[in-house]
Chain A
Amino acid sequence: MKVQYYPGCSLHGTAKEYDQSVKAVSRALGIELKEVEDWSCCGATSAHATNFKLSVALPARNLAAAEKSDLKDVMVPCAACFNRFKSAQHHLAGDAALKTEVEKILGRKVEGTVSVRNPIDIFCKDIGLDTLEGKVTRKLTGLKPVSYYGCLLLRPPEVCQFDDYENPVLLDKLLGAMGADVRPWSYKTDCCGGSLTISRTDIVIKMVDKLVAMAREAGANCVVTACPVCMANLDMRASENVRLPVFYFTELVALAMGLQGPASWFKLHNVDPTPLVSGLGLL
């Protein structure tokens, strides 16, 4: 299978282990990735928090670039970019005047012909859990993650159309197929505070401490995410007395499949997951 790939800014910076692990897992699953040509930033929270039209036009520039290719699926690993792309498509499809205006701004048509997809969705639905399970060479026995979906993959549901928006299960199933003992918890879709992390760190610390404390209460020994913002907040903002190792789900899939990379990716984390993983004999 061949899809387009939109890494987004984080994956080329603070989330580079996510970029590298998505690529490693995709390669192992036979998914060929073709980067969206000359992509630009999706605008993230800052665009939609201050300027609606900008927040549609910035992702639309990338959607237009993606539409030029024959490949109709665009893999967008960053939950924030995923959300902005889906939102832009939603607004453009529902508002003809806005569509005309944005197309004029871009000097290009945006027809909404590409399908914006998160890798969890592609791995679970196009590749399939059975195939994934068949690729496991080292079951993640002893790893007790909670799946943390956060906000941006799921809400609003009619825009994201990803999974059950109050109790999503795809990531749980995926980690289960890797042999992990996924813990049920009630905070799968709670907010980590997002970009307030820089301007109001005090508030974000309280939010993530609660999340991690609840993960511990659920019996977890790590947290798994698919979002660079959640990763940054949970990995760097949680107080020392509660913090847990946090993984991008693709790092764990790669680990279970015996791929090269996990040891070097783990070195990039703030909370070092190596003692946990080595202690379980997984590294």
Chain B
Amino acid sequence: MVKSFGCWPLTEDCETNGEDMKTFLDEVNEKIHGVPIQRCYHCRKCTAGCPLASVMEYNPNKIIKMIQLGMKEKVLGSSTIWLCASCETCITRCPNEVDIARMMDALREMAIVSGVGAREKNVLHFHEAFLANIRSNGRINETMMTVNYKLKSGDLFSDAAMGISMFMKGKLALISPKTKDIQSVRGIFDKTKNA
């Protein structure tokens, strides 16, 4: 009797199906749904122009290399993906049209969905406070959004003087007009939920 060696020959009912074989690179490419990352020839133009590269844990080009090497945990757990300000300079200048800005969005989304969370916790707290405010009012009320962020982050006192000054100028209001058909906005949140 011929012994089988793992999955060879490949058959339909082979244990190692396509899902298991998917690399981190495949996952990212699938999510950004555009030019595959392997088109990067590492010229580092993206990184030269990135306004946040100097404070990032790994610069944008390094992140690409790490994705190619399958370093999923390190990438999703890095501060880089949360410090990217989405300025889109990288994609604008990349000679190969690698969409790093969209890649950063995809990586953040993967970090949230996979439960890795955010290395820069307050950046995510801000996004959560912002989106929760849209979900409840349809529009941002900057006062309530900021209060919610402060409660989440525990950073209660920074900017208090500035907040009071804007309040006095009538720029920050406690109540502001909301979207009337709020159910349609909440429906969007419910139907696009990813985590």
Binding site for B on A (CB under 8 A): 9-10, 12-14, 16, 38-41, 43-55, 57-58, 61, 95, 105-107, 151, 154-157, 165, 190-191, 193-196, 198-201, 203, 207, 236, 267-268, 270
Contact = CB atoms under 8 A, between A and B. Distances in A.
B135 to A, nearest CB: 10
B28 interface: no
A146 B163 CA distance: 28
Nearest to B142: A13
A156 B92 contact: yes
Contacts of A106: 184, 188
Chain A to chain B: the 6 pairs with minimum beta-carbon distance, closest first: A155-B88, A191-B87, A9-B140, A46-B130, A199-B122, A46-B127
Contact of B131 (A50, A105, A201): A50
Contacts of B128: 46
Nearest to B55: A203
B121 to A, nearest CB: 9
Q: How large is the interface on B (under 10, 10 to 19, 20 to 34, 35 or more residues)?
A: 35 or more
Contacts of A39: 139, 179
Given A14-B172, A46-B126, A268-B171, A191 B51 contact: yes
Contact of A52 (B109, B131, B139, B189): B109
Contacts, number: 158
B140 A54 contact: no
Contact of A151 (B83, B87, B134): B87
A267 B169 contact: yes
B123 A196 contact: yes
25 contacts: A10-B140, A12-B176, A13-B140, A13-B176, A14-B142, A38-B179, A40-B185, A41-B139, A45-B86, A46-B130, A49-B105, A50-B127, A50-B131, A57-B192, A58-B134, A58-B185, A107-B184, A151-B85, A151-B89, A191-B52, A195-B85, A198-B149, A199-B123, A199-B125, A203-B83
B22 interface: no
Contacts of B158: 201
B33 A199 contact: no
B138 interface: yes
Contacts of B194: 51, 53
A40 B179 contact: yes
Contact of A156 (B31, B88, B146, B170): B88
Contacts of B142: 9-10, 13-14
A51 B109 contact: yes
A52 B31 CA distance: 9
A105 B89 contact: no
B141 interface: yes
Contacts of B88: 151, 155-156
Contacts of A12: 139, 176-177
B81 to A, nearest CB: 9
Given A38-B180, A54-B188, A49 B108 contact: yes
B153 interface: yes
B187 interface: yes
Contact of B130 (A44, A53, A190): A44
Given A191-B87, A195-B130, A196-B85, 13 more contacts: A12-B177, A13-B171, A13-B176, A16-B170, A38-B179, A40-B185, A45-B86, A46-B131, A50-B105, A51-B131, A151-B87, A198-B126, A203-B55
Contacts of B123: 196, 199-200
Interface string B137-156: 01111100010010001000
